[in-house]
Amino acid sequence: MTDAICKEIVLKKDRITDQVGSIYFGGGTPSVLPEASMAKIFNTLTTHFSIASDAEITIETNPDDLDAKKIAQLRQLPVNRFSIGVQSFFNEDLVWMNRAHNASEAETCIKRSQDAGFENLTVDLIYGYPLLTDEKWFSNINKLVDLQIPHISAYSLTVEPRTALAHAIKKGNQIPVNDQQSASQFVSLIDKLAATGFDHYEISNFSRPGRHAIHNTNYWRGVPYLGIGPSAHGFNSNLRYLNLANNAKYIENLSVNKLVETVEELDEYDRFNEYIMTSLRTMWGTDLDKVKNDFGKLFLADTLKNIEPFIQRDWLKHENNKLVLTLDGKLFADYIASELFLINEHPEN
């Protein structure tokens, strides 16, 4: 797999010509990779791309992976940021989620990382699941504030079709997810972190001022990015790339220098809808000057017409020629974005 990833990096070296400001190792549990494999990937990247000296280099990790030995290995690499999938600091919740780590490991790995010099951490939490009382939720939030975590990502539990949880709920063996609980805990999260000085800079992401994730911020602002590995996706102006989600075929094809990706060409409606979807989720909002300049007066006119119901409901604010979600609007972000999408009624055959 490491050889295939390095081969794909070489084959795609001309897709990003600007200096690279962030690298993100995610999409699974990259922290299980041996140090030698990580080093080989980094060497390939630095050979074929211009990496900024202050680039944000993040690796997703599970708490049970971050023992002293693993952290010491990562110190030998250019990694300077951990994304830790804690989810909860309560054992019964972690067992319910089928997580491999326990509450003690969740807290210990954070302190161990900080002691080793990895101060730039982001930690994931989940809310809106049946076991999570409001008292537990406040405890989880307060724990991260007390640990001086500069960046927090929080996600509502989503029940995906054809999963064990979906099946258990259907059979009556699990309590269904309560939308009202999710909404209430989302609002309490916003209030608590705002009171402690965090920016709510994207629907699911909070950070201390000046500590926004470079990688994710670039994504929401439409900066081109390169995806490497099975299932990875990339974006560059008018094109979107999606790699095959099959490890064996991925390795087999790259062994003979063949990329295994689907390429989608985006028309102006696709690009407009993507801009609406990503920008509206952020505290910077949707820039109507950009809509006019990049897509034209007709797109702007339709957008101004479509936002009226949400302005009247106080779900959207229209200020300084930007559209920004209100607190109530953040509860319906995906719905609002979908209602602002425009459809090409005369596509080319």
Residue 109, Cα to own-chain centre: how many angstroms? 21
What pLDDT was estimated at residue 115? 96
Let me know: does 20 contact 52? Beta carbons within 8 Å: yes
Establish how many alpha carbons lie within 13 A of residue 175's alpha carbon, considering only the half-sphere containing its beta carbon.
Answer: 11
Q: Could you tell me which residue, 159 or 29, shows the higher pLDDT?
A: 29
Cα separation, 311 vs 328, in Å, equals 11
Q: Which amino acid is at 189?
A: L
- Assign 315 a pLDDT band (cuts: 50, 70, 90): very high
Q: What is the pLDDT of residues 113-147, one digit of tens each?
A: 999 999 999 999 999 999 999 999 999 999 999 99
- Assign 163 a pLDDT band (cuts: 50, 70, 90): low
DSSP assignments along 212-224, one per residue? --HHHHHHHTT--
What pLDDT was estimated at residue 219? 87
Q: Is the pLDDT of residue 104 over 60?
A: yes
Q: Is the pLDDT of residue 178 over 90?
A: no
**What values do phi and psi take at 126, rounded to 5?**
-120, 140
- The answer to which of 11-15, 136-140, 154-158 has the lowest mean pLDDT is 154-158
What's the maximum distance between 2 C-alpha atoms anywhere in the chain? 60
Buried b (16+ CB within 10 A) or exposed e, 329-348: bbbbbeebbeebebeeeeee
Instruction: State percent of the chain over pLDDT 90.
Output: 85
Q: Among 213, 208, 211, 209, which Cα is nearest to 225's? A: 213
Q: Is the pLDDT of residue 346 over 70?
A: no
- Assign 165 a pLDDT band (cuts: 50, 70, 90): low
What pLDDT was estimated at residue 98? 85
Q: What is the pLDDT of residues 183-228, one digit of tens each?
A: 999 999 999 999 999 999 999 999 999 999 999 899 888 899 999 9
Q: Could you tell me which residue, 107 or 174, shows the higher pLDDT?
A: 107
Q: What is the pLDDT of residues 39-57, one digit of tens each?
A: 999 999 999 999 999 999 9
Q: Is the pLDDT of residue 107 over 80?
A: yes
Domain boundaries, the chain: 1-16+224-266, 19-218, 279-340
- The answer to which of 97-101, 196-200, 304-308, 333-337 has the lowest mean pLDDT is 97-101
pTM metric for this prediction: 0.92
What pLDDT was estimated at residue 162? 63
Burial class, 110, CB count within 10 angstroms (exposed 0-12 / middle 13-18 / buried 19+): buried
Q: At what angle do helices 297-306 and 268-279 cross, to 10 degrees?
A: 40
Cα distances (angstroms) measured from residue 32 to each of 61, 64, 66, 155, 201: 8, 10, 10, 24, 31
Return the ∠ at Cα 251 (arms to 7 and 20), rounded to 5°: 35
> Which CATH number is correct for 19-218, 3.40.50.620, 3.90.1150.10, 1.10.510.10, 3.30.750.200?
3.30.750.200
